[in-house]
Amino acid sequence: MATEFHNLQELRHSASLATKVFIQRDYSDSTICKFQTKFPAELDSRIERSLFEVTMKTLNCYYAEAEKIGGQSYLEGCLACATAYIIFLCMETRYEKILKKISMYIQEQNEKVYAPRGLLLTDPIERGMRVIEISIFEDSGSTSSSSSGSSPTSSTAQ
Amino acid sequence: MHLGVEEPIRECQYNQICTHNSSPMDTPHTKKRKSKRKWQVFPGRNRFYCNGRIMMAKQTGVFYLTMVLILVTSGLFFAFDCPFLASNLTPAIPAIGGVLFVFVMGMLLRASFSDPGVLPRATPEEAADIERQIDATNGPSGPGYRPPPRTREVLINGQTVKLKYCFTCKIFRPPRASHCSLCDNCVERFDHHCPWVGNCVGRRNYRFFYLFILSLSFLTLFIFAFVITHICVFLDGCTVLEVVVCFFSVWSIVGLSGFHTYLISSNQTTNEDIKGSWSSKRGKGNYNPYSYGNFITNCCAALCGPLPPSLIDRRGFVQPDTPQPAAQTNGTGACPPNQVQSHMCAQDQCIQSTKFVLQAATNPLLHSQPIILGGGPTLQAKSSLGGPCSTLTPSQPSLPSSIPGLTCGGELLALRDSEIHCHHHLHHQHFISPEETPSPPAALPCATHLGHHVHPAQLFNPVSQDSLHEDSVRGLVKLSSV
């Protein structure tokens, strides 16, 4: 497994970034965090629509759960207020716990679904929860050289 | 050939890309180098203390006044009045007073020191993507035509809400967000900028602000009441001072608490209330789409709702290969930041050199002619200033021949890599919108994405001129060696 990762690292450097697609926020449900599930045209030939939609819907569910105003959030809020919010120095908020779950999920999706198709999802928290950035990488076996970021190692082949 | 839209989904032609690096949690290798923390390169006008843990506005004088007033008044109360009250009435009075005082200070510090909900600025790729979408929506317009302000409409709970484009942060602001001109940041659920607290009041610290003013009104009334009691028995200089401070504070603070209680119960921000966004005077069908219907739910949502984490990651380390967002307002002129120079392969050197030369070429043009670039995504019209830099948009693959000394530049600038946008954005493209109070810009504009109302003369930084020329010579030397 260590050897495989070593090769993947090299491939990561030599895979060239073709373009990025940005999935914007969907504000139709007020200010809660929700991303548009509309399938971008650029991904048409890269990934099945159903897989993409499953990822988006799962992410939206996670965010909805994080921002849900219900029993658990009230309890947390009241407890925090009673302790003058000092308790947040010791424990993680529910939101932060769910964000960690989301990071794990995105990583898992990248490994299983997106990376084999030359795509990479970026966690929205790294982009200020504004967009889900999907990086589209050029096929490393392709002969077309329209890409821009070819690495120094590939220039030796020329 | 492996191109074509109709091609079936490719199987196993891609080698799996390692996603290990994409984890935001662990970046131990960056700590070994002297990487900067993100707060040190934060583009807004904020001050950071304790290595990024504390975040405040730039002007904090009034905040210190608030602290002094509260500490002095409470101190005098505990020192001069509490012994009398404890012995003559009940020792519960100083105890309750103490609890109230600690709560007030805790809420004040929490409201002042925390991130109000600042939205990080768009990365260059994001900004470019939004530009493309805007241009696709609006269509190309001729020179001299000023396109309408960039807005998007969204239907929220049956009410049409306009999302405005922020020219500083290069994002479409989410609903209820607003750009604070004092802090130069877009803040989520922006309430107001409070000088007393020394920070903006937004989504993340509104509850602390509200609890601060609520508890402070209780504390003020508490002290006022017992000080009056004390004065009736025994007149003292210090006690008189407390009475005076409390008397004037009570009206303003209790009034403010009442106002914010009303805002919370109707789920509005101060900003919306002042503008009358959801006032029925605006129209028959105008109502607040964010309200939950009853005031209890609104209160609970505002005070006991989930506390979202900070989006700006102040204490994280700056990744060397991450393009930094645009508009650094502290006047970084020609010099690229260190993180760019960490990947000095030949190609990067070439890009750098080309950039220096272009800057030098545009420099005298900027200085002599006040050029106002008219609209249009391609920026071909108007002036030669548009010429060299406009070629760096993705839609412009070729260089004009007017640029001297560029040999490999033509091919390079055909690159569609967003790194170029990154380099350009480091030179502070700044949009000045008539809708916003402009923050003081200080660096050269590069016309890659310049829209519609940029005034280069205003943006030109004479300090960087000499260094630019020096850099351009260096750039030419580098080019010749590649």
SS (H, E, C) A27-70: CCCCCCCCECCCCCHHHCCCCCHHHHHHHHHHHHHHHHHHCCCC
| Lowest mean pLDDT, pick from A14-23, A82-91, A121-130, A137-146 | A137-146
Q: Which of B16, B176, B311 is the closest to A116 by Cβ?
A: B16
Inspect the interface and report whether the beta carbons of B17 and A118 lie closer than 8 Å: yes
B284 shares contact with chain A (CB less than 8 Å): no
Q: Is the Cβ–Cβ distance between B99 and B395 less than 8 Å?
A: no
Q: Is the Cβ–Cβ distance between B77 and B225 less than 8 Å?
A: no
Residue B105 backbone dihedrals phi, psi, to 5 degrees: -65, -40
pLDDT bin (cut points 50, 70, 90) of residue A156 is very low
Q: Which amino acid makes up residue B466? A: D
Structure tokens at B334: 């020609």
B116-170: per-residue pLDDT in tens? 999 999 988 888 888 888 887 766 655 666 566 688 888 888 888 889 999 999 9
Grouping H, G, I as helix, E, B as strand and the rest as coil, residue A102 is helix
CA torsion through residues A152, A155, B1, B3, sign: positive
Distance from the Cα of A57 to chain B's closest Cα (Å) equals 20
**In the prediction, which pLDDT does B106 show?**
92
Inspect the interface and report whether the beta carbons of A15 and B15 lie closer than 8 Å: yes
Structure tokens at B221: 């009334």
* Complex ipTM value: 0.80
**In the prediction, which pLDDT does B323 show?**
55
**In the prediction, which pLDDT does A55 show?**
93
- In chain A, which residues have their Cβ closer than 8 Å to the Cβ of B189? 31
Structure tokens at B71: 């500490």
Q: How far apart are CA B350 and CA A77, in angstroms?
A: 55
Q: How far apart are CA B396 and CA B387, in angstroms?
A: 10
Distance from the Cα of A155 to chain B's closest Cα (Å) equals 10
Length of chain A measured in residues: 158
pLDDT bin (cut points 50, 70, 90) of residue A14 is low
Q: Which amino acid makes up residue B481? A: S
Least CA distance to A17: which residue of chain B? B417
Distance from the Cα of A149 to chain B's closest Cα (Å) equals 6
- In chain B, which residues have their Cβ closer than 8 Å to the Cβ of A27? 154, 156, 161, 163, 174-175
Least CA distance to B24: which residue of chain A? A126
**In the prediction, which pLDDT does B421 show?**
41
Q: Is the Cβ–Cβ distance between B193 and B179 less than 8 Å?
A: no
Inspect the interface and report whether the beta carbons of B15 and A25 lie closer than 8 Å: no
- In chain B, which residues have their Cβ closer than 8 Å to the Cβ of A73? 304-306
- Any idea what DSSP says for residue B77? I
Inspect the interface and report whether the beta carbons of A69 and B300 lie closer than 8 Å: yes
Please choose, from the candidates B347, B330, B315, the residue with its C-alpha nearest in 3D space to the C-alpha of residue B414: B347
Q: Which residue among B194, B246, B350, B389 is the active-site one?
A: B194
The helix-helix angle for B237-265 and B61-76 (nearest 10°) equals 120
B301 shares contact with chain A (CB less than 8 Å): yes
Distance from the Cα of B164 to chain A's closest Cα (Å) equals 13
B412 shares contact with chain A (CB less than 8 Å): no
- Any idea what DSSP says for residue B144? T
Distance from the Cα of B442 to chain A's closest Cα (Å) equals 26
Q: Which of A30, A66, A99 is the closest to B289 by Cβ?
A: A30
- In chain B, which residues have their Cβ closer than 8 Å to the Cβ of A116? 12, 14, 16
Mean pLDDT of A22-44: 88
B176 shares contact with chain A (CB less than 8 Å): yes
Inspect the interface and report whether the beta carbons of A115 and B14 lie closer than 8 Å: yes
**In the prediction, which pLDDT does B426 show?**
38
Strand boundaries in B74-220, DSSP class E: 118-119, 151-156, 159-166, 171-172, 178-180, 185-187, 192-194, 199-201
**In the prediction, which pLDDT does A109 show?**
92
Distance from the Cα of A54 to chain B's closest Cα (Å) equals 18
Interface test with B, best of A99, A101, A126 (most B CBs within 10 A): A126
A50-89: per-residue pLDDT in tens? 999 999 999 999 999 998 888 888 888 888 888 888 888 8
B206 shares contact with chain A (CB less than 8 Å): no
Grouping H, G, I as helix, E, B as strand and the rest as coil, residue B162 is strand
- In chain B, which residues have their Cβ closer than 8 Å to the Cβ of A43? none
**Which uninterrupted H or E stretch holds A78?**
helix A71-82
**In the prediction, which pLDDT does B342 show?**
45
pLDDT bin (cut points 50, 70, 90) of residue A13 is low
Q: What is the model's pTM?
A: 0.67
Q: Is the Cβ–Cβ distance between B169 and B180 less than 8 Å?
A: no
B50 shares contact with chain A (CB less than 8 Å): no
Inspect the interface and report whether the beta carbons of A126 and B163 lie closer than 8 Å: no
Q: Which of A15, A103, A144 is the closest to B3 by Cβ?
A: A144
B161 forms bridges with which residues in the sheet?
B154
pLDDT < 70: residue spans in chain B: 1-33, 138-149, 321-482
Q: How far apart are CA A48 and CA A46, in angstroms?
A: 7
Inspect the interface and report whether the beta carbons of B303 and A81 lie closer than 8 Å: yes
| Residue B194 falls in the annotated catalytic set | yes
Least CA distance to B156: which residue of chain A? A28
Q: Which amino acid makes up residue B185? A: N
